[in-house]
Structure 1
């Protein structure tokens, strides 16, 4: 009896053929790896499994459930046969078959992108068996705990924090402060991974990329790594700090350009000088100083990141946010430069974005906004020197960065003076 079968099914030939073809391609794509490894379930089995799911999806929900149930029976028979041959259970192949069957159902329902993405991911998981096993075997208990802790910070604590101020004056926004805590922890984790994978080359890459997000956070992390390795990362940390400073200037210029083109025009000279001098000093040092990668045979990295440091930095950010807001409220435009300097001590991006926003809304002149952005950028460069001097504990590195960042600071001030003298296009 065929009571469950619809009396008439309207399947457009071309669309139906496309769905079945996609299902077959998905099954063959995943089954290719199993065939290459000499498994009992290979190309044809995975192709049939995906087609079975597609037929179920075309016929409707009851038939889709029946198709998946039949695949379950097939998986049970496959494992029974493998156990009888004393070859162990085929758990990975069984899981791949079930996923392929569900993917076929999606194809039958008319999905395109999702089945293709699932097939590529499944094939990748099967193909990278040795690499994934090797990677997991090298993970230490501390690294695993740190990864879980980072996930808790980002996905468990952050979403439940209030988005609005929690005090009557509107000064303390917990979620904004917690973003910095997550950022510091994530930067430490990325630095740790890059150091393990690429050695000291990874530090310089992280220095630049981290500077695009928060140069102070990046410099703090680099200083901790210098201290942790007893100064063996001085050369690459120096270049990382200078590249982070260059990235900071580039990011601040981009923020001004996006939020207030007029403010960017009125700060283009000092920001350009900060950017070029930072890159130039990093490159000059790179030529004169041989790479220290060979001098660091092993790095005694105990933990991917320090939660204590992240929490302390978050508290500092919250303090400066409160002080900056109060100062701006009490002093008005006269205190704007002071607020910009305070903002640059923790995150020049926030100070620059604030200046650009005020300028775009007409609350601040483009010239004042441009100077404020320059002050915030120079304050960020100055605090980088203070952080390295206090955290790294290496006099040689402190002196080198003192000269380099001092040069950047002087050139930035000179650029700001020239900018105000020549006058902005939009005063």
Structure 2
């Protein structure tokens, strides 16, 4: 009798101390149960519906509060019942979704007792996956090609397996070649290609690529130029749109540069505001011209190429950047801080934001006057424009390269001209 009282008291304490967990567990059971119930509106046998999932959720929640041994017993009991249900219905319904949904409800209800918010979120995700059976099946079987699945797996392996294994420390005497950073660029090139591919298939060529280009520019405008350039070789009909996407990527990169200056050297940003605004305006106009031309094209391809990116393209780009970084570090070791501007411009050939951060740091610490720093920013944009224009010719077709090069040249010239005016006026 005393043992019964202790168990009852323990259950009362559990119910009193975690009402949110119990309510969350019940909500998860009802939500998943409703979705499972609606999948059998055609009259087929329901493995577990609203009431079953709700009852299982309550049982798991109470068991989690009573202790690990009780929870293990409940999980085993649900597993046995799910197995018995599968043995009975496997002839007409060989799938395991209903049985697994029952186990998921059990585990999420138990999790809700210690982390209600996470359990609730996973419950919603599970319900969405169950509800989206037909769209997901159509996506996996009809929409996505085998080549695209291969590319997605390659991208995931590159980002989640290879990248964590690479060292975060430099492997050269000058401390500039960091394998993890170089591989990140390879991943970015592949990700830009995948992002453009998805956007192209989702909203069409005319607007999908520009949207993808703008957002990819916050990661790497260099990778964007390379990725969209490669697409024009495969699909010449997308040349104007891809060029606009590459220029919008550089527009986003310029916005990020402004953010770096605002953080590291606000005084330099104030005196460079008009030159940077002129550079941004030149890029925006050049991108708009490409979008206008795309409207005049007689047709655009309805389906993109099955391949989202090429790994060799990213590897080649990383190798070129590694050479530039080593060269700039070697020159800096020879000429010291006096060659900071030249070194920064060389770095800008490979990485604009790293070069801008160095100029901003030198300006903030007094290593460069504001006037010299202003010209340094203009020089960085010119250096970056040269490098990306060359990359556009290497990666894309001739029309893409000319459009991108003209837009980047307009950016650099506008920045330099307004910088000269600001310096003279000051």
Give TM-score scaled by structure 1 length: 0.90
C-alpha distance in structure 2 between counterparts of 1:141 and 1:2, whole Å: 65
C-alpha distance in structure 1 between counterparts of 2:72 and 2:227, whole Å: 52
Name the residue aligned to 2:390: 386
Name the residue aligned to 1:63: 70
C-alpha distance in structure 2 between counterparts of 1:186 and 1:293, whole Å: 30
Name the residue aligned to 1:211: 217
C-alpha distance in structure 1 between counterparts of 2:21 and 2:302, whole Å: 55
Name the residue aligned to 1:36: 38
1:273 aligns with 2:278: yes
RMSD value, Cα: 2.4
Q: Alpha carbons of 1:171 and 1:381: their partners in 2 closer, same or farther (altered >3 Å)?
A: closer
Q: Secondary structure at the match of 1:256?
A: helix
C-alpha distance in structure 1 between counterparts of 2:86 and 2:407, whole Å: 66
C-alpha distance in structure 1 between counterparts of 2:174 and 2:251, whole Å: 36
Name the residue aligned to 1:222: 228
Q: Report Cα offsets for 1:244-281 as digits up to 9, x if no partner.
A: 22222111111111222122123222211110121123
1:237 aligns with 2:242: yes
Unaligned runs of 5+ in 1: none
CA drift at 1:284: 4.2
C-alpha distance in structure 1 between counterparts of 2:197 and 2:375, whole Å: 37
Name the residue aligned to 2:423: 420
Q: Report Cα offsets for 1:319-345 as digits up to 9, x if no partner.
A: 111112222232234322222222222
2:47–2:98 Cα contact (<8 Å) kept: no
1:73 aligns with 2:80: yes
Q: Report Cα offsets for 1:20-78 as digits up to 9, x if no partner.
A: 22211110011111111123411111101111110111101111111111111221222
Deviates further, 128-137 or 275-284: 275-284
Q: Report Cα offsets for 1:338-386 as digits up to 9, x if no partner.
A: 2222222222111112222333444444443343233222322233322
C-alpha distance in structure 2 between counterparts of 1:347 and 1:101, whole Å: 50
1:183 aligns with 2:188: yes
2:159–2:187 Cα contact (<8 Å) kept: yes
C-alpha distance in structure 2 between counterparts of 1:13 and 1:392, whole Å: 66
1:137-152 correspondence to structure 2 within 5 Å: 137=141, 138-152=143-157
1:24 aligned residue (20, 23, 26): 26
Q: Secondary structure at the match of 2:175?
A: coil
C-alpha distance in structure 2 between counterparts of 1:209 and 1:265, whole Å: 26
Name the residue aligned to 2:361: 357
1:129 aligned residue (133, 140, 157): 133
CA drift at 1:203: 0.9
C-alpha distance in structure 2 between counterparts of 1:348 and 1:225, whole Å: 24
Name the residue aligned to 1:375: 379
1:406 aligns with 2:409: yes
1:291-370 correspondence to structure 2 within 5 Å: 292=297, 294-299=299-304, 301-370=305-374
C-alpha distance in structure 1 between counterparts of 2:307 and 2:21, whole Å: 49
CA drift at 1:81: 2.7
2:389–2:401 Cα contact (<8 Å) kept: yes
C-alpha distance in structure 1 between counterparts of 2:175 and 2:389, whole Å: 32
C-alpha distance in structure 1 between counterparts of 2:361 and 2:22, whole Å: 54
1:153 aligned residue (158, 161, 165): 158
C-alpha distance in structure 1 between counterparts of 2:276 and 2:316, whole Å: 30
Q: Alpha carbons of 1:390 and 1:162: their partners in 2 closer, same or farther (altered >3 Å)?
A: closer
C-alpha distance in structure 1 between counterparts of 2:147 and 2:377, whole Å: 41
C-alpha distance in structure 1 between counterparts of 2:293 and 2:188, whole Å: 33
Name the residue aligned to 2:199: 194
Name the residue aligned to 2:119: 115
1:33–1:123 Cα contact (<8 Å) kept: yes
CA drift at 1:131: 1.4
2:359–2:376 Cα contact (<8 Å) kept: yes
1:215–1:380 Cα contact (<8 Å) kept: no
C-alpha distance in structure 2 between counterparts of 1:415 and 1:2, whole Å: 88
Q: Secondary structure at the match of 1:290?
A: helix
Q: Alpha carbons of 1:408 and 1:166: their partners in 2 closer, same or farther (altered >3 Å)?
A: closer
Name the residue aligned to 2:43: none
